[in-house]
Amino acid sequence: MGCGVTKSDQFHKHSGKAIRAAVLIQRWYRQYVARTEMRRRYTWHIFQSIEYSGEQAQIKLYNFLGYLMDNFTPSSNERNLISHIFRENDICRDAEWERYFCYKKIEVPEIYSGPHLTFPLTVEQAVGLVEAFRNKKQLHSRYALQLLLETWKLLRMLPNINRISTCHSKEITICGDLHGQLEDLLLIFYKNGMPSLEKPYVFNGDFVDRGKDSIEILLILFAFLLVYPSDVYLNRGNHEDHIVNLRYGFTKEVLTKYKMHGKRILKLLQKIFSWLPLATVIDQKVLVLHGGISDSTDLNLLARLDRHNYISALRPPKKRNQSSASTSMDSDLDEDVWGANRIFQRRASLTFPKPLGARDCFHNRSLQDFSDRIKVNVETELEIRRRRRSAFNAVMKEPETETPTLSFDSVYSDNAKEEWKQILDLLWSDPMAQEGCVPNEVRGGGCYWGPDITEDFLNKHNLQLIIRSHECKQDGYEFCHNRKVLTLFSASNYYDVGSNRGAYVKLGPDLVPYVVQYQASSMIRELTVRQSVGRTERSALKVLREQLFAHKSDLICAFKKFDSENTGVVSLNDWASAVESVMHLDLPWRMLRCQLVTRKTSEGMIDYYDWFNELAIIGPNSDNIDQSLLETLYRHRSTLETIFRIVDTDNSGFITMEDFRQTWKLLSVYLKMEITDEAISDLAVTIDSNQDGSIDIDEFMEAFRLTDKKSRLERGRSMFMGTATDLTKLEGDPNI
């Protein structure tokens, strides 16, 4: 605060007036800036809530499929439909794998204009690869497979925890999540130089999914890994996981780019992901890992376990016959474990579904059910919920609604469970401001850990800093826990153009992190804060409107509860309460109200039917499709697509009519919804426009995209399609 001091006689004449005028303008402008900041905050919340609830939904889906696996007869059609995604460690000898991944017979046509690779790879070739990708070339599947095979061989020799040093005055560069955003990797290389003997790099996971160039990023990172194995270090992220990839776009990207050999590439990548190291320690003082830690994280245990048993972090390894660790390429000589252990399981099929009591149980089972370290009883649960960060779960959450869990089976040994928890925590956890350690229910895996946990952990292992990624930050990085934890995120404009900067960190022998920020696309730098907030906000609101529209029936139900006299209007307060009760996104609905509802009655009430007309999003030509079915399809389109891709075992992009029906049955059980066979048949007939008995997945999904198809949010960004309420019951909706 201060009094203006006039600096020139010019002001003297009008000084009193001018000062008052200046004060007024300053007040006005500051208010405006503050409101912009507020908008930026809740825009962020919107994106983050939806992103995390999408992750949660994926885990729920996987969980659900696992449950089905546990309860189907081995030979049932439904089981065959989905069993292959669980068949993670196929029985195969080395020779068989060699044959399966063989690239030698793949011919490279004359017209191919991309790079030709010869092995062993040279640095010129690696650099050439970067250039080729910059010029939008694609690497031929023959070379891709070969590169991946070499990578696999190398990774298998690496320990779980890389240990590196900044000796020779080398500065180590550390990068966070890239998520398929090639532009950002190119920008980092441009600003910082490519990896070399003088320029070591650590890449901290989440190289794939969401962005459109995930495979290119992988190929570049692997190429440099092969050329400079002592100077390039890769940590596994939670997205280096084929289950997560099914939903978040990487699987689709590979199958689209590599139509003939995509499936093999994906299979090889499954193995590669499982062989990625889990963490990196620099100078024995700085720990770099993707997600974080929990109060039970034990580096010694992590160093000892067989990391490649965890093909997906979402599923514990199957119990193996006690063979000693062999030296073959794939040491798990499992039989199909399912067969043997299922003798004791109940049998059911979709046609005669078991009463669903059991499934409610699996939803409520938490990770901690089998971990002896953390016992979560009811009181603690309530306490935990009260202390949840405001961006996430609402304070008064119904217990049965949102406890995403990872199901387990009693065949797993305690050892396996312990190891599994260690890995899960490493890849999925987030830091929190409060002390303690609680399950990360928002994402569905890992923990939230507090500053006291960090302190204890660092002391125990004689470390001084944890560098992790996993969370998008507006400035590309953020310190927390008394600057003992650094979050690093390298995908700029992640939520939308202008949403955030990316960052990387340089660490010299003094181990003081030096952060460098950037933002892809020069257009962004010229936008003011106000303008970029405005853009991002518009995107966020658009996504939110979609979500709201997709929950129309539930919302109307909720509104009716506040409108007993059926007047068709509710107060602003009631509107906000109703919306939160359905959406579970813990957003400041009251503040968002004026952006989401533009029409109000004269008494300041909201006409909700009118509001839905306002929100109405143009859908496909749907005269002959049941409206409520349409709404279901729209709302669950991401889950539906994921299930389709699981069902499409040969990755052709087509599924048969019969499989389509089965998929629907699956979805209806998952959603606890009644969908009559008739309704499904009608739908199938409509979709199979050329009546040839098969359905094009992409075409089907296209039909349900919004009219604005070019929106950045739609291209490969399925994260926004997941919702927290995939399992919402459709309570007494009259339309069904």
Partner 1 sequence: MAESNNQSAETKLSDVHKRIKAAFETFDNAANNTVDVREIGTIIYSLGCFPSQADLHDFIAEVEEDHSGYIHLDRFLPAMTKVLLEHKFPPIPKDLLLQAFEVLDKDNKGYLEPEELTKYMTQEGEPFTQEEMEEMLTGLADHERNVIYYKDVINQLAIDPDM
Which residues are annotated as catalytic? 239
Q: Least distance (Å) from partner 1 to the CB of residue 525?
A: 11
Quick check: 60 and 727 in contact, CB under 8 A?
yes
Q: Which CB, 402 or 641, lies closer to partner 1?
A: 402
Rule CB under 8 A: which residues touch partner 1? Answer: 1-2, 4-7, 11, 14, 17-35, 37-38, 41-42, 45, 386-390, 433-434, 528-531, 562, 571-574, 576, 588, 590-591, 594, 604
Q: Least distance (Å) from partner 1 to the CB of residue 164?
A: 34
Quick check: 440 and 471 in contact, CB under 8 A?
no
Strands 201-203 and 232-234: parallel
Residues 6+ apart with CB under 8 A from 353: 669
Q: Least distance (Å) from partner 1 to the CB of residue 478?
A: 11
Q: Which CB, 328 or 573, lies closer to partner 1?
A: 573
DSSP-assigned letters across all residues of 258-277: -TTTHHHHHHHHHHHHHHS-
State how far the Cα of 716 lies from the Cα of 718, in Å rounded to an integer. Answer: 6
Strands of 195-260 (E only): list them: 201-203, 232-234
What 3-state DSSP class applies to 72?
strand
- CA 67 from chain centre, in angstroms, equals 22
Paired with 172 in beta bridges are 507
Quick check: 214 and 250 in contact, CB under 8 A?
yes
Q: Which CB, 30 or 373, lies closer to partner 1?
A: 30
Report which of 730, 726, 733 is spatially closest to residue 363, judged by C-alpha positions.
Answer: 726
Q: Which CB, 45 or 359, lies closer to partner 1?
A: 45
Report which of 114, 136, 109 is spatially closest to residue 125, judged by C-alpha positions.
Answer: 114
Q: Least distance (Å) from partner 1 to the CB of residue 47?
A: 15
Q: Least distance (Å) from partner 1 to the CB of residue 243?
A: 31
State how far the Cα of 208 lies from the Cα of 202, in Å rounded to an integer. Answer: 16
Q: Which CB, 211 or 451, lies closer to partner 1?
A: 451
- Type of residue at 565: E
Quick check: 277 and 455 in contact, CB under 8 A?
no
Q: Taking the C-alpha atoms of 473, 463, 160 and 164 in order, what is their torsion angle to the nearest 10 degrees?
A: 90
Output DSSP code: residue 319.
P
Residues 6+ apart with CB under 8 A from 40: 474, 529, 533, 536, 537
Q: Around 669, how many Cα atoms within 13 Å sit in the side-chain half-sphere?
A: 24
SS (H, E, C) 595-641: HHCCCCCCCCCEEHHHHHHHHCCCCCCCCCCCHHHHHHHHHCHHHHH
Q: Which CB, 390 or 689, lies closer to partner 1?
A: 390
Q: Which CB, 22 or 108, lies closer to partner 1?
A: 22
Quick check: 722 and 54 in contact, CB under 8 A?
yes
- Give the pair of three-digit tokens for residue 210: 């969401």
